[in-house]
Amino acid sequence: MTSELARKRMTASAPRPDLGPLARRAALALGPVLAALVLGGLVLLVLGVNPIAYYVFVVERGLLSPTGIQATLTRMAPLLLIAASLIVAFRAGIWNLGGDGQFLLGAVVVAAAAPLLIQHLPSWAVLVVCMALGALVGAVWSVLPALLKAYQGVNEIITTLMMTFLGVSFANVLVKLAFRDPGTTVPQTRTLEVADRLPRLFETTISSGLVIGIVAILAVHVMMTRTAFGLKLRIVGANTRAAVHAGLSVPRLTVAVFAISASLAGLAGAVEILGVQGNVRADWNPAYSLTVVPLVFLARFNGPATIAFVFLFSVLSIGGESAARRMGVPNFFTLVIVGILLILLGLAEYLDQRRRAGGP
């Protein structure tokens, strides 16, 4: 019975040759994006904003203007690192939704440490040490979910989310109480001078964090697709029982996944501070991680494709920030687009499976 059914299902999933795989994948990815923009446009219409004017403005400010494109490329750095963090986790079947906590704490600790270290170390050494520190802090913030998942089987969605909520408050406590800059009235950490931050690329304002992000995401991509370690993680993610059967230590690999994933999120925090912010103000929480989740899904956990989607999203959000100031449409609109996009993405996948199954 089992094999009979399985065979039917298999025959069912044999692809039809009508669309090339690349064209199909492109359609699957771009279809939902366009549809989400249209639906988002409807929301704008309801709010009395001209959607075409809005989108034109966003593209102009996020992509076409020189300052806009530079801001967009700079924004990509932390997003790419977070995307790399998510790719490792999701490919290994671990739902690390705690990226925001890992990111924020990495950022806060780095923001506190960098201005102190700069008094003792050369600038390049501070950058290196701080990036390592950010990664470490991120990893530490995932130890509890990792151990609970690996050895107790506690659902990591719950624990990582809890750690994020805890981390966001904890970061605030740190900024306001422990690391507060006594020289300012607003609660924030000491500031790393612009000269000591990550160097800018060529003659632009683009932070070299972009390079770190791209390298990270490509490295993760190669690791997951070309190495024995990556394959082991993928086996664990695809079929835990097969992993046990093949003699892989699932708990140890699970902990490793959390460590890598959370360090990348922590590194993202470090890069954001060292490259862009220079300090952390109280209640600062860009909440990048949850918004990068759909992008990674959209790219089907593929590194290069993720870079493209992160770029698109950065254009939207940099342009959207400008639009918030000029057109009075708050940034929350980007969240709406992301939510719609996720649902449409799921729908597209569903329809694609139906189509390939030759169903009604």
Partner 1 sequence: MSALFTEAFLTALILGAVTAGIPLMLAGLGEQISEKAGVLNIGIEGMMLIGAYTGFLVAYFTGSIWLGFFSGSLGGMAVASLMALFCVRLGLSQIVIGIALTLGAEGLTALLHHFQFSQSYPRLEAVESLAIPGLSALPVIGPALFDRPPIIYLAIAAVAVTAWVFRSTNLGLALQAAGDKPAALDAAGVDVIAVRTGAVLTTGLLAGLGGAFMAEVGAGIFVPFMTNGAGFIGIVLAMLARGRPLWVLLGALLFGACLSATTALQVAGVDIPTDVIQMLPFAAVLAILVVFGRRASLPPALGSHYVRGAR
Partner 2 sequence: MTDPAASSGIHPSPGMPDPLIALDHVTKRFPGVVANDQVSVAIWPGEVHVLLGENGAGKSTLVGMLSGIQQPDDGGILIEGREVSIDTPATALSLGIGTVFQHAMLVPSLTVAENMALGGKAWTRPDRQGIRRDMDKVCTDLGITIDPHARVGSLSLGEQQQVEIVRAVLRHSRVLILDEATAMLTPKGAQELGALMRRLVARGLAVIFITHKLNEAVEFGDRITVLRLGRKVGEIAPDRLRTLGSEAVTAEILRLMFGSHVVGADTGGRRRPTPTGETVLALSAIDVPDESVPVRGVDLTIRSGEILGVAGIDGNGQKQLAEAIAGQRRLGAGTIRLAGVAIETLSVADRRRLGLRYVTDDRLNEGTVGSFPIALNLVLKQVGEEPFWFRGVQRSAPIADHARRLVSEFDVRTPGVETAIGKLSGGNIQKALLARELSGEARVVIFAKPTYGLDVQNIRATRQRIRDAAERGCAVMLISTDLEEILELSDRIAVMDQGRVVGVVDNDADARSRVGALMSGAHR
Binding site for partner 2 (CB under 8 A): 1-8, 10-14, 226-229, 231-232, 234-235, 238-239, 241-242, 244-248, 357-358
The least distance separating partner 2 from the CB of residue 159, rounded to whole angstroms, comes to: 24
| 330 scored as a contact of partner 1 (CB under 8 A) | yes
Handedness of CA 173, 74, 198, 211 (dihedral sign): positive
Q: What per-residue string of b and e applies to 284-299 under the rule 16 or more CB within 10 Å gives b?
A: bbbebbebbbbbbbbb
| 357 scored as a contact of partner 1 (CB under 8 A) | no
The least distance separating partner 1 from the CB of residue 333, rounded to whole angstroms, comes to: 6
| 186 scored as a contact of partner 1 (CB under 8 A) | no
Among 157, 211, 218, 276, binds partner 1 (CB under 8 A): 157
DSSP calls for 317-335: HHHHHHHHHHH---THHHH
E strand or H helix that includes residue 55 = helix 51-59
Give the whole-angstrom CA distance, residue 80 versus residue 307. 7
Among 25, 28, 35, 95, binds partner 1 (CB under 8 A): 95
Contact call for residues 150 and 94 (beta carbons, < 8 A): no
Q: Could you tell which of partner 2, partner 1, none binds residue 12, using a CB distance below 5 to 8 A set by kind?
A: partner 2
Q: Which residues contact 304 (CB under 8 A, 6 or more apart)?
A: 218, 221
Pair of tokens at residue 309: 């989607």
CA angle 99, 100, 106 (to 5 degrees): 90
Q: Could you tell which of partner 2, partner 1, none binds residue 330, using a CB distance below 5 to 8 A set by kind?
A: partner 1
Say how many residues touch partner 1, by CB under 8 A.
53
From the CB of residue 231, how many other CB atoms can be counted at a distance below 10 Å? 14
| 43 scored as a contact of partner 1 (CB under 8 A) | yes
- Give residue 52's identity as a one-letter amino acid code: I
Identify which of residues 180 and 234 has a Cβ nearer to partner 1 in the complex: 180
Q: Could you tell which of partner 1, partner 2, none binds residue 346, using a CB distance below 5 to 8 A set by kind?
A: partner 1
Residues that bind partner 1 (CB under 8 A): 1-2, 5, 9, 43, 47-48, 95, 97, 144, 148, 152-155, 157-159, 161-163, 165-166, 169-170, 172-173, 176-177, 290-291, 293-294, 297, 329-330, 332-343, 345-347, 349-350
